[in-house]
Amino acid sequence: MSITRAYSITSEAVAKERERTGGDTSQVDITKVLTLDTLTLPELGPNDVKLKILAASAEHNIDHAATADTIDITKVRGGKMYPGNSAVGEVIEIGSLVKRFKVGEIVATHCNGEPDQYGYPLRIWAYDQPDSIGWYSEEAVVGEWQIVHVPLHCGLSLWEMAALPLRAPTAYHLWRRALGIYRLKVSTERRAVLNVLSFGGGVGELFVMLAKSEGHNVYFCSGNPERRAALEEIGITAIDQQAFNRFKSKDDIKAFSKKCKDLTGGENMHVVCDMLRGPVFDAGLAVAARQGVNVSSGWQLSQVVSYNSTVQSVKQVTIDHMHYETIEGCQAATELYGRVFKPTIHKEIYSFEDLPRCMQELHDNTQTGIPIIRIAKELPPAVKTLSMAPPKGF
């Protein structure tokens, strides 16, 4: 067994911070909850792979774990958890039965923790899957089934590829489901080109990139000016959420609905990806076209939503929920790196020691794109040319 540095969250730290803030999760200081720790790695089994973690991205499920804003998942996990379920690493050792990977190869993790009988996850790795250990660490031991090859010659930098292991499969599956459901109702012959709208962040931007790659009219609604500008550069129409006060009132939603009708010639949006982010859900339903599909993932800000089912029934709108992709879908999504998926990343690449600050800035919503953490101080030759300017402190 070997010991590595890894970040952990304890239920004691979560409880202490909740007490300090009086239960106001918006005021939680993530840096007091997510702390650098040590981890004893398990012995390498015959079907296991040992990784040197090169880079990781910050994910919102870490924010959920640190703030306990939905459930106190750390308490459920026994009082301590090691988070991090999106990373790129180098294979440094393999078990005797491992056939798909070789030492020196660059791979990405996926977070499908416990596939059901159809391959879809019942649990997410490093979140609610019992005994799972995440990848905000310098080294990790994982099962061969938990990693996929990374297309190093896709045209993306190492940091851009590190933004995708969790987000790309999520967007890939959201789009497949949304399009499939819509086509059950409306054939290509009746409506070949769709109006597609997505809200928010990293998954949302990848979702509209997929839709655009297939020839549809795409719209991205975000309060982040840097992200809007990046998407406009590749021909995606951007809508400023802040122009509608982030949909705080019915009048704001009405104004947004009028904007969408103007953009689409009165047709509105055939497919909406809303991610269940607070009032965005109401705005997304308001602009759904007849036979439209609203597809959602995650639970940021709320686990519970409500809507007028009569209105949606008259419009024949389908509201669909998904959790995450199958393992095969995760592998397929990596084939689109650089071809379709070109993520917008935050201007600073954080050092490993700055990971808590990175998560705090994610919590505060002050980043200009997907936040990336450089874990390894020394990068292997295979990716040195794919790294951009080194992060602060290196």
- Domains of the chain by range and CATH? 3-163+343-384 (3.90.180.10), 168-322 (3.90.180.10)
Average pLDDT over residues 169-179: 95
Give CA–CA dist 390/349, Å, rounded. Answer: 8
Give CA–CA dist 84/53, Å, rounded. Answer: 11
DSSP letter (8 states) at residue 25: G
Say which residues have a Cβ less than 8 Å from residue 384's Cβ, sequence separation at least 6.
none
pTM score of the predicted model: 0.92
Residue bearing the bigger pLDDT, 352 or 323: 352
The token pair at 354 is 């700055």
pLDDT tens digits for range 344-356: 999 999 999 999 9
- Using a pLDDT cut of 70, give the percent of the chain over it: 95
Do 330 and 301 contact (CB within 8 A), yes or no?
no
Do 92 and 368 contact (CB within 8 A), yes or no?
no
pLDDT tens digits for range 283-316: 999 999 999 999 987 655 567 778 888 998 999 9
The number of CA neighbours under 13 Å toward the Cβ of 114 is: 10
- Mean residue pLDDT of the chain comes to 92
CB atoms within 10 A of CB 366: 11
Q: What is the pLDDT of residue 278?
A: 64
The token pair at 227 is 């992200």
What distance lies between CA 250 and its chain's CA centroid?
Answer: 29
Q: What is the pLDDT of residue 33?
A: 94
Give CA–CA dist 373/371, Å, rounded. Answer: 7
Say whether pLDDT at 343 is over 50.
yes
pLDDT tens digits for range 212-239: 999 999 999 998 899 999 999 999 999 9
Per-residue pLDDT band for 46 (boundaries 50, 70, 90) equals very high
Residue bearing the bigger pLDDT, 280 or 234: 234
Residue bearing the bigger pLDDT, 67 or 8: 8
pLDDT tens digits for range 98-141: 999 999 999 999 999 999 999 999 999 988 899 999 999 999 99
322 bridge partner residues: 297
39 bridge partner residues: 4
